[in-house]
Amino acid sequence: MDRTLKDYIYYVSVEKGLSKNTLESYSRDLSGYLSYLQQSGITAMEDSSRGNIVGYLLNLKQSGKATTTLSRNLSSIRSFYNYLFQEKMIVENPASDLESPKIAKKLPRVLSLQEMDLLLDQPDQLHVTGVRDKAMLEVIYATGIRVSELISLDTGDINLEAGFIRCLGKGSRERIIPLGSVAARNVDRYVTEGRPKLVRQKGEDALFVNQHGKRLTRQGFWKILKQYARTAGISKDITPHTMRHSFATHLLENGADLRSVQEMLGHADISTTQIYTQMTRRKLRDVYEKAHPRA
């Protein structure tokens, strides 16, 4: 079964072009399921059943796993069985009629415009790292890209003259996103004044680099963001995704249409983007209740 799992991971990596993080998630989920099957005395996938899948999910639930974890595991298992059925390794697909558990969607945490302005003003631009940090924060807020997309940017992915960036999102889908004049101005300063002082080796393509001249990591950006949140005195728990949520919410609050926001965020399904409309409706309700005399 381990060999079959390796073949499946290779298949989805080649055929679907999934990200490294997604492949690791699939592998982790399915390794847990296969271990459960082996502990149950099942050594071949054709001998597994719907009851085994349900039993495994119940075990996860009883061990305190969240509904989101159960849903993700079922999705991984279902995809694996679809592959086995397609490749004729099993006669029947025991996962075909299993429904995912209902997940209550939590509204994402966002920063107000005042908090965002405060955060963006924190980098000390008298220092080279401050010039870099200012450019990074302005880019991620101006475009709503994921932190993985931000640190993956190369110098050739940004066109300051035209005012856009090119990034590769989930599934290697390419997006062209407007940059905005403020972000473009700060990136221009970083590229001309900051980056040359940080990069030590010719041929380094990464746009944003650390103090050793190498591509900045996710953890590196996370630490930078946390530091500025503290110095800004923002009590909310801020993550890189908070910037993305704030980008989408602020756009919709100021009249952007949902389809455009969906395209900029790189959401395959517009239902994923629609959660931000709930945020704007909630804000309207709060304003109404505070302002209307008969609210």
pLDDT in tens, 187-205: 999 999 999 999 988 889 9
Catalytic choice (50, 61, 109, 170): 170
Is residue 244 annotated as part of the catalytic site, yes or no? Answer: yes
Is residue 134 annotated as part of the catalytic site, yes or no? Answer: no
Catalytic choice (132, 195, 244, 245): 244
Please tell me the predicted confidence (pLDDT) of residue 279.
55
Please tell me the predicted confidence (pLDDT) of residue 260.
76
Please tell me the predicted confidence (pLDDT) of residue 288.
46
The CATH code for residues 113-290 is: 1.10.443.10
Catalytic choice (241, 281, 282, 285): 241
Domain ranges for the chain: 2-86, 113-290
Q: 150 φ, ψ to 5°? A: -65, -50
170-206 b/e with 16+ CB inside 10 Å = b?
A: beeeebebebbeebbebbebbbeebbeebbeeeebeb
Catalytic choice (134, 146, 175, 250): 146
Residue 107, number of CB atoms within 10 A of its CB: 12
What fold does the segment set 2-86 form as a domain?
DNA polymerase; domain 1 (1.10.150)
Q: What percent of the chain has pLDDT over 90?
A: 37
- Cα atoms in the 13 Å half-sphere on the side-chain side of 194: 25
pLDDT tens for each residue of the chain, 295 residues long: 778 888 888 888 887 777 788 888 889 999 999 999 999 898 888 888 888 998 999 898 889 888 888 888 998 999 999 998 988 898 889 888 877 766 555 666 788 889 999 999 999 999 999 999 999 999 999 888 889 999 999 999 999 988 888 988 776 778 888 888 999 999 999 999 999 999 988 889 999 999 999 999 999 999 999 999 999 999 888 888 888 888 888 887 777 777 777 777 777 666 666 666 665 555 555 544 665 455 4
Is residue 170 annotated as part of the catalytic site, yes or no? Answer: yes
Is residue 250 annotated as part of the catalytic site, yes or no? Answer: no
- Averaged pLDDT of the chain: 85
Q: Do the domains 113-290 and 2-86 match in fold?
A: no
